[in-house]
Structure 1
Amino acid sequence: MGDFDRQTQMKHGFSHIQWMQNFYAQSMYSDIKLIIKNKRYAVHKSILHMASALFRRLLNDNIRVLEMDSKDIREISVSKAIEFLYKGTIEELRIEQIANIVKLAELWQLDKLKDYCYLFVEGIFRDNSQVSQRLGDIDNYFINNFSKITTNIRFLNLSIENVKQLLSSDGLKVSSEEQVFRGLSQWIKYDWINRKKDLYSLMTCIRLPCCSVSFLLEEVRALCCESVEECQLLLDAILWHQFPQKRASLKLMNSDFRNIDKRVLILGGNNNEISGLIEMYNFNTNSWTDFFKIDINITFFLAETFKNNLIIFGGWDTKENRLNDKVYSLNLHTKQLTDLAPMNKNRSNGTSVIINERIVVTGGHDSLIHPMDTVEEYNIIENSWKIVASMNESRSDHASVVYKEKIYVFGGISASGDNLSSVEVFDPNANQWTMLRPMKWKISDLYAVVVNDSIYCTGGYNGTDFIGQVEKFDPSSNSWTDVSNMPVKDSGFQAIYHNEKIICFGGWRNSKIQVYDPAKNTWKIIGECSNRRNDYVALLLERNF
């Protein structure tokens, strides 16, 4: 292509862009109404379709109105975002608008808009050295790009107050806490003579228990050798790992993972074709990706995550056509699968919870497909199983949760094959089960979620049909309350509590993602699962992999 052709092509393209801008300004030929906070924007479906994968997934030929999530999004941010979609630039953009526009860009998956905002901030950095001290105005840029800016001269020149504020942020976007410490190390070493006095105060902002022991002994120890206080922090972090019983006394140890892009792993289910496929769901983008496919021939298994590992146990061996007692560990970093100590009993269709670094498995089917009352406990550190006190009733296809270091189980199928309404609680310290007030309905294949000081039991099967009833249990008063029903009745699904909401994924007969807001007692459907699954496992990840 010659220069004449290129210039002609560019002029042709610019002409089309200008016409689309005119169409938008005059609301001409718009074929979809975008609704944000009850305000309507007449836009063009083709423009939205080109903007992001989210719009491509939501739009189809028949849709004429699209209402988008707008939590905490300002009207000016919406206007600026639409302006960018049509122009590729934003006129009269101001620094105080950036954080909210970036938040909208993340919500709508507008990567080019995010890049535009970050370049805008970097341009201000170059033009005004004082801006780098105004962390309150540009915190979203630093938080979302921490790994990129730790070697930037503007970051290295931040004040101690700004660095402390940044390192203390729950929303810092990092793949690991080690990354946060390395940022601290970069800042300290940039002016070691004058800054080493600030090392201890900044160290208290690092979630040291979230770092591996090897990292603590190598990189953290290499930097923290100047004061007794710094050495004590390092020692406490190692004690946190090695002696779990001492954690309550380690008051400066913040072990909470930062509120990064939390994701859910979905695996297993009554579907041989996808039972080994591990999918990952991203809350922020409402999107699915394939994470890994494990080479095991089992369904109806249980799984839990611990640190960097996915632990899989029990289930039905489809190759040998029998119940399974095997236990596997999948390293989520290396994707390496290893064998662990087997369970004491073959079982499927039970439930599992993690409590005090132990996995407790309750009930399920035995080899004759009869519900069981047996309970066993796996010591993750010692890689060993032991039998603990049995439940008062045999049950399979039930629900279980941990609340205040006790295990609660709900409903299920009894030894006689009938549905149960019974509820019981296990005290690990006393090794004893106690019956509680039963549910209103006899339900199996339900799911339970802890929300603050209540436990919500959702959906299930009543023996003849799927149900959408939701009951709220108050452990302190041993009482039940009905709340709003699910929009789609189903069973065999799993749910996650995230961002103060309960999110339910699919089930036996649907693939909807249903969200319950306990504060408003309302449900809504936000999307679809990429594959239909039932009796599967869903696990919330506390870090990125």
Structure 2
Amino acid sequence: MSYFLVVSRTHGETVLTQYQRLREEQLLFDIVLVADGTEFPAHRSLLACSSDYFRVLFKDYTRESKASVIHLQVVSSTGLHHVLDFIYTSWLSLSPETLEDTLEAAGYLQVTEAIGLCSQYITNNLSLENCCFFANVASRFGLRDALTAANRYISRNLCRLPQCSSDSETQLDLNPESMMAVVGSNDMPRVTELQLLVLVLEWLKNNPLSVVHNNLLLGKIRYGLIPVEELTNLYSQNEVLQTAYIKSLVLNAMRYHSLSRQQPLNQCTQSTVRTQRSQIILVGGGTLRDGLVGEVVVFNPYLKTFRAITDLKRKVQNHCVCVVGNFLYVLGGEVVQVNDNEKLATTLVTNQVCRYDPRFNKWLETAGMIEKRARFSCCTVEDNIFAIGGSGGINSLHSSVEVYDINTDKWEKVRDLPQKMHGHACTVYKDTIYISGGMHENHRESSKEVYSFNLLDGLWKKRAAMSIARFGHQMATMKEKIFAFLGMYEPFCDIERYDPVENQWTRLHPVLYDRFCYGMAVMDSSVLMIGGKKWHNSQEVATQNVIEYDVDRDSWKEVCKLPCPLYGLQCAVLQLLEVPHA
């Protein structure tokens, strides 16, 4: 015998609707709930189906199973009213004023779906005015998802939260669990570490903790990001900072500050900027109209915004940049020197090196290179900076290679290149340096040659040549492969990919936008080409667009425009402290 099993998708909703109609018409009530002296007639069967508390209460072996009136001493009339409305209608009316009463009733009566809606309400309605209050509510009632969301919101908006308000709870009213999470956050825009420490010290005055919990909370402060004078003053004035554990962190920070040149090698959590996103730094170069630029600009690739963060120690082009420990090094290049008497501008090649610290927005002069270099290449291997080849001035090319030891602040020469060259590019793959192209001594044309250098054997080895001769181009390592991008004087806009294991090059999708003298940065699986020049009617024209190469899709697209056409720049990826707005 065959049969069909069918289901009604409206039956459950219809039954609930009928219960609500009985409630409105005051029919078939068989129980009265009392809270704060207020009576709420109800139906046992629906209560037992909606609440684990009532399901157990109404079983035959309990004293209350036969009672016609149940007094609920714990819940408020407001909370019970909202929970009963939910039981009968599936709708829960919530506001900050009724949230705690509703949660208390839903928790006591074990109406889990109502508790879930309260958690969702908190998560979806966070604002500057209520986030601290909601975090405290979520902590009190164990709403883990809502608490996580509230803590994250507070961290992201700490700089904008009201410091003192009679209408809303502030950071100083936060529960210990939230304060611990906020101070441990890696995402706290526009709040300096000094401001955060002051806030924590004020909070501890209002919320005294045990020594262990004091240490846990204060141990999350990044003392290496606090200026020495302010840190010294706060340490001497606050006993909670003088426990053995916190004292050790403060002393480590002092030592970190005292060894300024070695700071890139001594990075740890205590000196790491609180941010989850890196940004691209645009260094040097110039415009066709105004010449070399002095501002260092940061490009936010997520928001597509540009802002100046500092000024260069000297305006420069055909230089190199690299990053060690989230410190930016600017090496060599060409600077313009003006003769005051004759008012003549002279371009000079320099060996000078300076370092930028994004934590304190400061520059530091470090030891200069042994050779003056422009149109050279640089890279980092095991926190050592290599400067390779380049031009020393008119008709002067280098084959020399030198390495900077950050620990000793000294440059040393290592094995020379196979020949003198400039305008070549370099990248690093598994601690091996790869260089390509450029122009070699006594050659007037660009080169296709590729060499590698490994620290273990200290030798330059010839590798498979590129299919295109390149000069003034760029290289990048991504996903176990090396990519070579555009340079000057190239008849095509092709790019190539090199497999270091197979020692083989492969042509990829050409760039739709010809360019040279551009800045380049690698972000995740994308390469950004910023500014540069292109040929137009046999003339060099500065470009203003930022284009992106997607490695996974082998495709190009334009992402935004620069504030003005810029060429000859170098780019680096840094994590930056978002300072408070003026």
Normalising by structure 1, we get a TM-score of 0.65
Kindly state the Cα deviation for residue 392 of structure 1 after the two structures are TM-superposed: 2.7
Match of 1:421, SS?
Answer: coil
Letter matched to residue 155 of structure 1: Q
Counterpart AA for 2:305: S
Q: Deviations over 1:197-253 (max 9, x none)?
A: 223434554555555666666656866756554445555656767599999999977
Alignment counterpart, residue 300 of structure 1, candidates 314, 318, 324: 318
1:198 aligns with 2:206: no
Q: Distance in 2 between matches of 1:537 and 1:141?
A: 35
Q: Secondary structure at the match of 1:540?
A: strand
Residues 244 and 499 (structure 1 numbering): CA distance in 2 closer, same or farther, change over 3 Å? same
Structure 1 unmatched ranges of 5 or more: 1-93, 101-116
Q: Which residues of 2 match residues 408-423 of structure 1 at below 5 A?
A: 408-415=434-441, 416-423=443-450
1:147 paired to 2:159: yes
Match of 2:187 among 148, 168, 171: 171
The structural deviation recorded for 1:285 is 2.6
Q: Measured at CA, do residues 464 and 352 of structure 1 come closer, stay the same or move farther in structure 2, by a change above 3 Å?
A: closer
SS of the residue corresponding to residue 487 of structure 2 reads strand
Residues 1:470 and 2:495 aligned together = yes
- Any residues of structure 2 matched to 1:318-467 within 5 Å, and which? 319-328=345-354, 341-355=367-381, 358-380=384-406, 382-415=408-441, 416-428=443-455, 431-461=458-488, 463-465=489-491, 467=492
- Partner in structure 1 of residue 333 of structure 2: 314
Closer, same or farther in 2 for the Cα pair 1:250/1:386, shift >3 Å? closer
Q: Which amino acid aligns with 2:487?
A: G
Query: 1:266 maps to what in 2?
Result: 283
- Larger mean CA deviation between 262-271 and 485-494 belongs to 262-271
Separation of aligned partners in 1, 2:438 and 2:158? 47
Show the counterpart of 1:501: 526
Q: Which region of structure 1 is more displaced relative to structure 2, 403-412 or 240-249?
A: 240-249
Q: Matches of 1:332 and 1:251 in 2, distance apart? A: 15
1:518 to 543, 546, 551: 551
- The CA deviation at 1:428 is 4.4
State the alpha-carbon separation in 2 of the partners of residues 98 and 264 from structure 1.
Answer: 38
Amino acid at match of 1:536: L
State the distance in 2 between where 1:479 and 1:252 align: 40
Q: CA separation in 2, counterparts of 1:261 and 1:429? A: 32
Distance 2:385 2:229 in 1: 25
Question: What is the deviation of 1:440?
Answer: 3.3
Deviation string for 1:69-118 (max 9, x for gaps)?
xxxxxxxxxxxxxxxxxxxxxxxxx9969989xxxxxxxxxxxxxxxx87
Give the 5 Å matches for 1:3-18: none
Going from structure 1 to structure 2, the CA distance change for 1:423 and 1:274 (only over 3 Å counts) comes to: same
Q: SS of the counterpart of 2:453?
A: strand
Distance 1:95 1:449 in 2: 46
Q: What residue in structure 1 maps to residue 63 of structure 2?
A: none
Instruction: Supply the distance in 2 between the matched residues of 1:515 and 1:95 (Cα, whole angstroms).
Output: 41
Cα shift readout 1:509-532 (whole Å, capped 9, x = no counterpart): 232211223334332211112232
Deviates more, 1:341-350 or 1:256-265: 256-265
The one-letter code of the counterpart of 2:476 is: V
Evaluate the alpha carbon distance shift between residue 522 and residue 188 of structure 1 in structure 2; reply closer, same or farther with a 3 A threshold.
farther
In the TM superposition, what is the alpha-carbon distance from 1:360 to its structure 2 partner?
2.2
The structure-2 alpha-carbon separation of the partners of 1:315 and 1:281, relative to structure 1 and needing over 3 Å to count, comes to same
- The amino acid of 1:493's aligned partner reads Y
> Distance in 2 between the 1:138 and 1:348 partners?
52
In structure 2, the CA distance between the partners of 1:472 and 1:257, relative to structure 1 (3 Å rule), is: farther
Cα pair 2:282 2:519 within 8 Å, conserved: no
Conserved? CA contact 1:364–1:397, under 8 Å: yes
Q: Contact 1:143 / 1:166 at 8 angstroms: preserved in 2? A: yes
Distance 1:244 1:293 in 2: 20
Aligned equivalents of 1:388, 1:186: Cα separation in 2: 55
Superposition map of 1:81-96 within 5 A: none
Cα gap change, 1:275/1:479 in structure 2, threshold over 3 Å: closer, same or farther? same
SS at 1:198's partner residue? helix
The 2-side partners of 1:121 and 1:150 are apart by: 7
2:541 aligned with 1:541: no
**How big is the shift at 1:536?**
1.8
What's the offset of the Cα at 1:444?
A: 1.9
Q: Percent identity?
A: 16
Letter in 2 for 1:162: S
AA at the equivalent of 1:534: Y
CA contact (8 A) 1:423 1:439 kept: yes
2:137 match: 130
CA contact (8 A) 2:512 2:556 kept: yes
Q: Which amino acid aligns with 2:285?
A: G
1: CA distance, partners of 2:571 / 2:526:
15
Q: Which residue of 2 aligns with 1:64?
A: none
Tell me the CA shift for residue 150 of structure 1.
9.0
- Would the aligned equivalents of 2:129 and 2:162 in 1 still touch at CA under 8 Å? no
2:273–2:576 Cα contact (<8 Å) kept:
no
Report the count of equivalent residues: 432
Q: 2:561 maps to what in 1?
A: 528
- Cα deviation for residue 495 of structure 1 reads 1.4
CA distance 1:252–1:501, change in 2 (3 Å): same
What TM-score, normalized to structure 2? 0.61
CA distance in 2, matches of 1:476, 1:189: 61
Which deviates further from its counterpart, 244-253 or 301-310?
A: 244-253
Change (3 A) 1:189 1:360: farther
- Equivalent position SS for 1:299: coil
Deviation at 1:161, TM superposition (A): 3.5
What's the offset of the Cα at 1:281?
Answer: 2.1
Checking the alignment, whether the CA contact within 8 Å between 1:406 and 1:425 is kept in structure 2 is yes
Q: Measure the CA separation in 1 of the matches of 2:395 and 2:454.
A: 27
Q: Which amino acid aligns with 1:169?
A: S
How far apart are 1:446 and its partner, in Å? 1.7
| C-alpha deviation, 1:503, in angstroms | 1.6
C-alpha separation between the residues in 2 aligned to 1:526 and 1:453?
26
